[in-house]
C-alpha cells in the first residue's frame, strides 16, 4: 500500500524548495514538423499555438503539482456519461462512455443518431478517467463534438469477463470499438485523443490500420514515445508509487480469477512497473518479444492521418525531451506535429490557474478544425466540392473485418487518396 504520508511529505518538500523560483513569462510554443502545405496552413490558422502565456505564477515552477492537479484533481461535475458495453470477438468486454451535458443527462440516447463530429478519448492505461479527460469532454461538448471515452477490459468499472488483459500496444480492442462507433455514427467525422500511456495505444492503432483507421486526425497529450525504455528506467519515486498503487488496486478486484492463470503473489510484491508488466504479459514470451509486438512506434511509417503531440520540457513522468522525444520523426514525417512547451508537467497544460481550463484542449480542438478547413480548401482547389458535398465525409464500413483489408478502406478511390495526402507536399 502506498505510504501516503511519505508522498505528501515529498510533495511539500518540493513546494518548499521550489516555490520561490520565478518562472520568466514567455508566450507561444515551439512547433516542430516537416515543412509542408499543411504545416504552413497550421501555423497561419491555428491561433491557439500562439496563445500560450506561461505567467510567473509560483505553481509554474512545480511540474509535479500541475501533473497531480491534472491526473488526480476533481472531475468536471458538468459532464455525465452514458455507458455502452461492447462484447468483443473473444467474448471480452470494453466500455464506451458517451459524454453528455447536464441538459442531456436524463435523456438516454439509445438511437443511432449521432453528432457529425465524434471525439474518441483514450485515457491512460492505469484504470481511471482523469480530470484532464473529463475537462476535455466538457470543452468538446461546447464545440459540438460527441465525446466518447474508451475503457479497457477491467478498467474504470468495466467488468473483466475473460482472463485476457490488454497488452500495452495491442490495438485489437480499440479497433473493434472504433468499428462500432462508425456503425453507430455513420458519416460522422471521427477524431481521437490519447492521454499519456493511452497515446501509445493510439499510435499502435494508427500504425497498424494506416489509411483504414477511419480517423480524420488525432492528438496526443504527453505521450510516452519509448515505453520499453520508460518501463525499464522507471519513474521518479513519487510517480512510481502512485502508478504501482493504482495498478495493484485495479488488479485486486480480479485477484481470484486472475490468480488461476497468473502468479499474482509476485505481482503484488512487485516494486517496479517493469515487474508488474512482466508478471501480467510475459509468462509465455520474453520481454524482448513482448515489446517487439507492442512498441507504440513499430508501424509509425504507416500512419496516414495528421497527429498533433503536445509535450512539455519539464515533464516529471517522461523525463527530459532530449532523451525521450523522437525529434527526427517530427522533422521527417509530414503527418506528425510536435508542440513543445517550457512548462506543463505531464498532461498539466493549464491555461490560467490550476482550477481553470486547459490550454492543450484548446489547441487540439483548433487543430482538428484547421485540418477540416485545410481538407475543404484542397477539395475545392481540385474541383471536387460538387462531387462530395459541403464537407469531407469519410465512407464508413459496418463490418468487423481487420484494418488491412482493402475492401473496407475508406480511401481506395484514387481521387480520395490524392485528396487525403495532398498535405504531404
pLDDT, one tens digit for every residue, the chain (425 residues): 444 445 445 444 444 334 333 333 344 589 999 999 999 999 999 888 876 655 445 666 688 888 988 888 888 889 999 999 999 999 999 999 999 987 665 455 444 456 789 999 999 988 788 999 999 999 999 999 999 999 999 999 999 999 999 999 999 999 999 999 999 999 999 999 999 999 999 999 999 999 999 999 999 999 999 999 999 998 888 889 999 999 999 999 999 999 999 999 999 999 999 999 999 999 999 999 999 999 999 999 999 999 999 999 999 999 889 889 999 999 999 999 999 998 889 999 988 777 788 999 999 999 999 999 999 888 777 765 455 554 444 333 333 334 443 333 333 333 332 334 444 44
| Residue whose C-alpha cell reads 482523469 in the numeric block | 130
The span from the CA of 389 to the CA of 393, in Å, is 8
Compute CA distances 18 → 1, 39, 61, 66, 319, whole Å.
28, 37, 7, 13, 18
Residues with catalytic annotation?
196, 315, 346
Compute CA distances 220 → 122, 175, 425, whole Å.
9, 18, 24
Could you tell me whether strands 93-100 and 80-87 are parallel, antiparallel, or unpaired per DSSP bridges? antiparallel
Residues 163 and 193: beta-carbon distance below 8 Å: no
* Nearest residue to 135 via CA among 370, 355, 366: 355
| Domains and their CATH numbers in the chain | 27-51+59-103+114-233+299-375 (3.40.50.1820)
- H helices within 253-358, ranges in order? 255-258, 264-269, 273-281, 287-294, 321-324, 327-332
Amino acid at each position: 500500500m502506498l505510504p501516503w504520508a511519505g508522498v505528501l511529505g515529498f510533495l511539500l518538500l518540493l513546494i518548499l524548495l521550489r516555490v520561490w523560483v520565478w518562472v520568466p513569462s514567455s508566450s507561444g510554443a515551439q512547433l516542430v514538423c516537416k515543412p509542408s502545405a499543411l504545416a504552413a496552413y497550421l501555423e497561419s490558422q491555428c491561433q491557439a499555438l500562439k496563445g500560450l502565456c506561461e505567467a510567473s505564477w509560483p505553481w509554474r515552477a512545480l511540474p509535479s503539482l500541475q501533473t497531480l492537479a491534472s491526473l488526480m484533481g476533481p472531475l468536471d461535475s458538468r459532464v455525465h456519461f452514458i455507458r455502452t458495453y461492447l462484447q468483443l470477438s473473444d467474448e471480452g468486454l470494453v466500455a464506451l462512455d458517451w459524454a453528455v451535458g447536464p441538459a442531456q443527462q436524463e435523456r438516454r440516447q439509445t438511437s443511432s443518431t449521432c453528432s457529425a463530429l465524434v471525439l474518441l478519448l483514450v485515457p491512460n492505461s492505469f484504470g481511471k478517467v482523469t480530470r484532464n479527460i473529463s475537462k476535455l469532454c466538457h470543452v468538446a461538448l461546447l464545440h459540438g463534438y460527441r465525446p466518447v471515452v474508451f475503457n479497457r477490459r477491467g478498467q474504470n468499472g468495466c467488468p473483466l469477463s475473460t482472463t485476457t488483459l490488454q497488452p500495452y500496444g495491442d490495438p485489437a480492442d480499440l479497433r473493434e470499438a472504433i468499428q462500432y462507433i462508425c456503425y453507430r455514427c455513420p458519416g460522422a467525422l471521427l477524431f481521437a485523443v490519447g492521454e499519456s500511456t493511452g497515446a501509445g495505444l493510439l499510435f499502435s492503432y494508427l500504425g497498424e490500420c494506416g489509411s483504414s483507421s477511419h480517423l480524420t486526425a488525432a492528438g496526443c497529450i504527453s505521450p510516452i514515445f519509448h515505453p520499453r525504455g520508460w518501463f525499464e528506467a522507471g519513474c521518479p519515486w513519487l510517480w512510481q508509487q502512485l502508478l504501482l498503487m493504482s495498478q495493484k488496486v485495479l488488479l485486486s478486484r480480479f485477484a481470484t480469477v486472475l490468480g488461476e492463470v497468473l502468479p499474482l503473489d509476485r505481482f503484488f510484491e512487485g516494486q517496479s512497473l517493469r515487474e508488474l508488466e512482466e508478471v501480467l504479459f510475459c509468462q509465455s514470451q520474453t520481454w524482448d518479444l513482448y515489446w517487439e509486438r507492442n512498441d507504440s512506434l513499430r508501424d509509425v511509417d504507416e500512419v496516414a492521418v495528421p497527429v498533433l503531440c503536445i509535450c512539455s520540457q519539464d515533464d516529471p513522468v517522461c523525463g527530459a525531451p532530449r532523451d525521450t522525444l523522437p525529434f527526427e520523426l517530427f522533422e521527417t514525417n509530414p503527418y506528425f506535429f510536435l508542440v513543445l512547451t517550457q512548462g506543463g508537467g505531464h498532461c498539466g497544460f493549464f491555461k490560467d490557474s490550476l482550477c481553470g481550463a486547459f490550454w492543450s484542449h484548446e489547441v487540439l480542438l483548433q487543430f482538428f478544425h484547421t485540418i477540416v478547413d485545410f481538407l475543404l480548401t484542397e477539395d475545392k482547389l481540385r474541383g471536387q466540392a460538387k462531387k462530395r458535398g459541403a464537407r469531407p465525409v469519410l465512407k464508413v464500413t459496418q463490418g468487423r473485418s481487420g484494418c488491412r483489408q482493402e475492401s473496407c478502406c475508406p480511401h481506395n478511390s484514387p481521387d480520395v487518396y490524392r485528396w487525403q495526402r495532398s498535405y504531404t507536399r
